A = this chain, B = another copy of it.
Amino acid sequence: MIPNANRRYVFAARPTGLAGPEHFREETVPIRMPGAGEVLMETQLLSIDPAMRVWISENPGYVPPVQIGETMRGFGIGKVLASGDPRFAPGDMVQARPGWQSHATLLASDVQALDPALGSPLDWIGLIGMTGLTAYFGIRAVGAIKPGETVLVSGAAGAVGQMVGQIAGIEACRVVGIAGGAEKCAILTGELGFHAAIDYKAEPDLAAAIARECPGGVDVFFDNVGGPTLDAAIANLRLGGRVVICGRISQTASGELYGVKNLGLLIGKRGRIEGLLVTDFTARFGEARHWIAAQRDAGRLKQRMHVIDGLDQAAVGLGMLFKGENMGKLVVRVAG
């Protein structure tokens, strides 16, 4: 039985600060059955990511902005309900970019089948999804961690941050996380194997706190946050230290950008700062998923998920990310 109503959230107003439900409009439209080379997907899980706030800004830079009137863009997992393409059959579990809608009619070439042997649908959206892959390639390929090095992670309790810390720990690094609040810090050290955690909300001088927890300095700083945290980390960088810029959640929706003052220190430290986009590593996603799944199966790696229910909660969730209200990977369960 295929339903005939597609519920969707359309981008309705470009935000200047944080994004919330007021920037999206609910619509119900008929479902369009797939033509040749198309697939109809029922959305079950939607990934809610800080990058989404960038996609709805006027000039994201690396992708076209979401336009007013478009269904909000987003990654998700779901089930094939009908297929006009021989590669997919009803009942297949797939990943794609359905956006914020209950049903999406997509080009089959934009849809990938999930291998259930490698992980559950929640794993496919987190641990072995874009989140886990971003952490894997960010800290290993871009950060180029070596055993024995000290790794500092900002936004450490966030989706990517917690994975980065655990992966670096598996690779025999000493891992220090920065997060907001005692509860998050306790989870980092108690549950996720971080060697130390810094509660930035409780530290009057973040650079001094980093120096205290990383007494020999920082070899690799994995930054999800940007802003003054980046300055504090550069001040503590060791000779030959690397900074991976993955995100800058403190700056994404802020009116005035923070100016980073410590770049001059990179000369004496021979430090490196590099930006990361996981899509550069698409050809190696398979190898990464197998590594992550093996670590998970051995009990060395897990992803804390923060699941909220209902498509109408997607925009609420987007706001939560920027207020630090999520603990781990934020997912909206739409169906299933």
**A residues with CB within 8 A of B:** 60-63, 226, 230, 245-248, 251, 257-277, 280
Contact partner, A266, options B63, B245, B280, Cβ 8 Å: B245
Apart from A245-B264, A247-B267, A260-B261, 13 more pairs, CB < 8 Å: A60-B268, A61-B269, A62-B267, A246-B267, A248-B263, A251-B264, A259-B259, A267-B275, A268-B277, A270-B274, A270-B277, A271-B275, A272-B273
Contact check, B259 vs A266: say whether CB atoms are below 8 A apart. Answer: no
Contact of A263 among B63, B260, B267, B276 (CB under 8 A): B260
With a cutoff of 8 Å between Cβ atoms, the chain B residues found around residue A273 in the complex are 263, 266, 272-274
Q: Which of A259, A263, A265 has the most CB of B within 10 A?
A: A263
Contacting residues, chain B, for A261 (C-beta < 8 A): 257-260
Contact A264 B60 (CB under 8 A): no
CA distance in complex: A272, B272 (Å): 7
Cα separation A203 to B263 with both chains bound (whole Å) = 25
Whether B274 contacts A266 by the Cβ 8 Å rule is yes
- Does the CB pair A61–B268 fall under 8 Å? yes
| Cα(A259)–Cα(B275), bound, Å | 18
Which residue of chain B has the shortest Cβ distance to A262 in the bound complex? B257
Decide if A272 touches B270 in the complex (CB within 8 Å): no
The interface residues of chain B lying within 8 Å CB-to-CB of A251 are: 264
What would be 24 A-B contacts, judged by CB atoms less than 8 Å apart?
A: A60-B268, A61-B268, A62-B268, A62-B269, A63-B268, A230-B263, A245-B266, A245-B267, A248-B263, A248-B264, A257-B261, A257-B262, A257-B264, A258-B259, A259-B261, A260-B260, A260-B261, A260-B263, A266-B275, A267-B275, A270-B275, A270-B276, A272-B272, A273-B273
